[in-house]
Amino acid sequence: MLEMKNVTKRFGTVAALDDLTMTVPQGGVYGLVGPNGAGKSTAIRHLTGIYRPDAGTVSLNGQPIWENPKMKQIIGYIPDDVFYFPSATMEDMRRFYRGMYPSFDDALFDRLYDAFRLPRKGQIRRLSKGMQKQAAFHLTLAIRPQVMILDEPVDGLDPVMRRQVMSLVLSDVAEHGTTVLISSHNLRELEDVCDHVGIMDHGKMLLERSLADMQGSTVKVQLVGQAPAELEILHETASGRLKTLIVRGDVQTVTGQLQAAKPDYFDVLPLSLEEIFIYELGGADYEVKNIVL
Amino acid sequence: MKSRTLSCRKTAFIQDLRRFWPIGAGYLLVWILLQISIADDVGNDGYWYAQNLIGSITVGGIFNLGYALVVAQAVFGDLYQTRMCNGTHSLPLRREDWFLAHCAAGLLYSLLPTACIVLLSEVLVGKLCVFQNGWQLPLYWWVGLNLQYLFFFGLAVLCTMAAGSRVGMLALYGIVNTVSLLLYLLVDRVYVPLLYGMVVTSTTFELLCPAFHILSIAFLHPTQIETGAVYLNENGALVQETINVFTVEGADWGYIGVLALIGLVLTGAALWLYRRRDLERAGDFLAFPRLTALFQVVFSLICATGCYAFYSLFLGTTKSAYPLLALGLVVGWFAGRMLLERTTQVFRKGNFVGLVLLIGAFALSLGITMADPLNLEGWLPVADKVRSAELSIGGVSNKVNITENIDDLICLHQIGLEEHYPAYDYTGLSEDGTVFARITYDMKDGRKITREYYVDQGGEGGKILRRYGSRVEAVFGQYGITTAQQLRDRIRQANSIVLDYRITSQAAQTDAFRQKLADAILADCENGSTARSYDLHTQELFQDLPESYRPRSLYLSLEGEHYAAMDVYADCTNTLKVLEDAGLLETVKEYRQSLALG
């Protein structure tokens, strides 16, 4: 289990992380979302042992990560801005990673050439941004990490390669029980792969739970006619006769209540991750707590 | 786990070698060219080759000053780029492991190229050097050079850890390498002129500045000696032969040994800083916010001293340049802030408060110096506490350790204070009728205290200066003559006695003349009229010559295997009389007249 407990990190007068607590369950795929400047990358840099927290603890399987090679060697990290030694080729990086990671799998590394089709000899820095990202996946998958931490992993990849990459990651999760943390702004893609979601803002964790719980506790209702009085409406908008309501409750309960009221038309839809994200951040003019409780 | 750590360190170490080998290759190339140049210069002279090889350690000090900076920036440079810094520190290696790997690579970048040069030098030594143990020379060279490197590399690594960017590291490295000389400049140019007669010597400051001091010391003194070797040949006969052996004497290994130790301590301090460094500081000028105030103050003082020294160097005044100190502080304060914040938008209220405090503190320190609460200016030693004293007049020193003589110098010191002629000025100008004198006391408690004054040449001070400046050891000490008998012997043994570089006569070469001359010179020494300082002699010789051809002194030289010379002034009446009697004076006069007539 990957865990941050009450972590605070200040950059000068700015609190990048403010008493942040998050838990990534073992074997799960955790989506970390938040607006720009929420502190996602800072949190990830703590989880990869780069930054030292001013306060709080960051641990993997109960052991601290900072300055702990034993833990760091089972973590594969792809930063938002990948790095390579200036003149390094894929084979140079293979040698380097082989020396750094005891679990480095040379056979897998060779097989991954078929998936990514990267040049063995050319300098990586001369490749396009997308290909450099592919190279990062190539290397990270080859170390057979138990935990994969991906910061904007598919940023710069074409749609086909995005699917290819996510497929490789998910097959790793399925086969080896790898724990994955993905930070991304592409909520649509996260929704397809994540089973847990954490929403951050201003260095704090606003909401953290399984996607199923999150989507099950609040629904979106489209309705023509009078809404039943027993509905706990959190937000309401109207476009002509069509009303859109954000309602507390699971799909079955809300559907039952609407059927009993017999409006002209109704439809009950689960909230998308994007909608949850928007409402969580106050974009729908009401508090997050009202949605999820 | 231990072997894993070793494997990771090895990987990081090899990566450093792979990435930065051209730096080491460049360094090697420079030394190869230098060695070839040395071998080419000396021809077949093995002794000179040895001298030059060892002498190149001094040049190596300057090389190492820059090379250590380049190497440290290369191997630790990832700390300055956010992407690389984050990337490398997410890898499974502790900071001390990174540090050890980088340091090992950094040291190898000196050890390996210089070892290659040792091999090359051994070939040249075998070819050129006539000394049986000449093979040791390249090894001495290797050890000396790498001890120096150890110091500079340690310092560079410490600066690397304290700085957040390459420019910051460069600035810190430059400052710490020169801080003691800058401090000396500040004290010598700004504070000392406020205290009449005060002098600070640069010796201690230089010692604390290895980059400078290395240039001024000789690490090794190779000397050529001959040793008799005795052995039995194959017939059982005793054979004796002379062989050339190379010995190394007078080496200042202690200094470079201490430097190397300091280098190790600095490296340890760098590791301490590295463990405390926040990686998010990558790209900042300094990696530790607590250092920013210190840097800004030091940078401001450097700028202030620089402005002041520059002005006083070219325009030759000191007091009028004091307002420049404030200007330098202002410039330095805001320039330092701009470097720290990487913006020109630094003219904020908070920064002005700091500047006002700094200027206030600086002005206060100048005020306290002028008030002289410790009475440094008026200090006079007690003769009992002085082990010896040295009087320097016109570049000639005269050391005394008898209480009576020390009392005389203390008296001169007191006269200097009382007369209070304008203090020593960098232009070298003094008031007419004054003579410059420097007194250095070697105190029994180990301190060395120096004072400089101008004293009235016609007053009591002038008399003391004449008396001490005219002593045989003061006039002839530089030629190894310290007693009257030695002077007599030298005059007697001289091949010829020459006046004004070319005038001599048969009469001047007789024993009788030499006897008279020795008596006359000694009498003038006794009378206090032979002091070497020009300022102590105002009269001119040959009054009937045109004014511009009248000399203040004639140059009397004792030619021969052991040379000696003195200036004969118009008040050296006894000596002039002997020269006149021998006809030498007339000849000189005629020669000068011919010059005057064209």
Domains, chain A, with CATH or none? 2-202 (3.40.50.300), 213-292 (3.30.70)
Q: Identify the sign of the CA torsion B265, B270, B275, B276.
A: positive
The residue count of chain B comes to 598
Quickly list DSSP for A103-130: T--HHHHHHHHHHH---SSSBGGGS-HH
Q: Is the pLDDT of residue B33 over 70?
A: yes
Please give, rounded to a whole number of angstroms, the shortest distance from the CA of A148 to a CA of chain B: 12
Q: What angle do CA B480, B486, B487 make, to 5 degrees?
A: 90
Could you report the per-residue pLDDT of A248-274, keeping only the tens digit for each?
A: 888 888 899 888 888 889 998 888 877
Query: With b meaning 16 or more CB within 10 Å and e meaning fewer, what string describes A184-211?
Result: bebbebbbebbebbbbbbebbbbbbeeb
Flag whether residue A30 sits within 8 Å of chain B, measured between CB atoms.
no
The predicted pLDDT at position B161 comes to 96
pLDDT band at B50; cut points 50, 70, 90? confident
Say which range, A19-33, B84-98, B301-315, B346-360, has the weakest mean pLDDT: B301-315
Please enumerate in sequence order all residues whose Cβ is within 8 A of that of B559, keeping only pairs 6 or more positions apart, or say none.
Answer: B494, B495, B496, B497, B498
Q: How many CB atoms lie within 10 A of CB B133?
A: 14
- Cα separation, B399 vs B346, in Å, equals 56
Please give, rounded to a whole number of angstroms, the shortest distance from the CA of B448 to a CA of chain A: 49
Q: What CA dihedral angle connects B331, B334, B336 and B337, to 10 degrees?
A: 180
Flag whether residue B342 sits within 8 Å of chain A, measured between CB atoms.
no
**Residue boundaries of the structural domains of chain B:** 2-165+199-219+252-281, 290-371, 383-469, 477-597
Could you report the per-residue pLDDT of B283-339, keeping only the tens digit for each?
A: 899 999 889 999 999 999 999 888 887 777 776 656 677 778 888 999 999 999 999
Chain A, nearest residue to B81 by Cα? A83
Residue with tokens 């007419």: B432
Could you report the per-residue pLDDT of B51-74, keeping only the tens digit for each?
A: 788 778 888 888 999 999 999 999
- State the average pLDDT over residues B29-58: 81
Most A CBs within 10 Å: which of B280, B284, B340, as the mutation test of the A interface? B280
**Contact: B8, A11; criterion CB under 8 Å:** no
Most A CBs within 10 Å: which of B78, B89, B91, as the mutation test of the A interface? B91
Could you report the per-residue pLDDT of A33-89, keeping only the tens digit for each?
A: 888 888 999 999 999 999 999 999 999 999 999 999 999 999 999 998 888 888 899
The predicted pLDDT at position A287 comes to 43
pTM of the model: 0.81
Q: How many CB pairs under 8 A join A and B?
A: 66
Question: Alpha helix locations (H) across A50-148?
Answer: 69-72, 90-100, 106-116, 129-142
Residues of A with CB below 8 A from B84's CB?
83
Q: How many CB atoms lie within 10 A of CB A289?
A: 10
Residue B517 has φ and ψ, to the nearest 5°, of -60, -45
B137 vs A286, higher pLDDT = B137
Nearest CA-CA partner of B549 in B503, B592, B580: B592
* Contact between residue B572 and residue B510 where contact means Cβ atoms under 8 Å apart: no
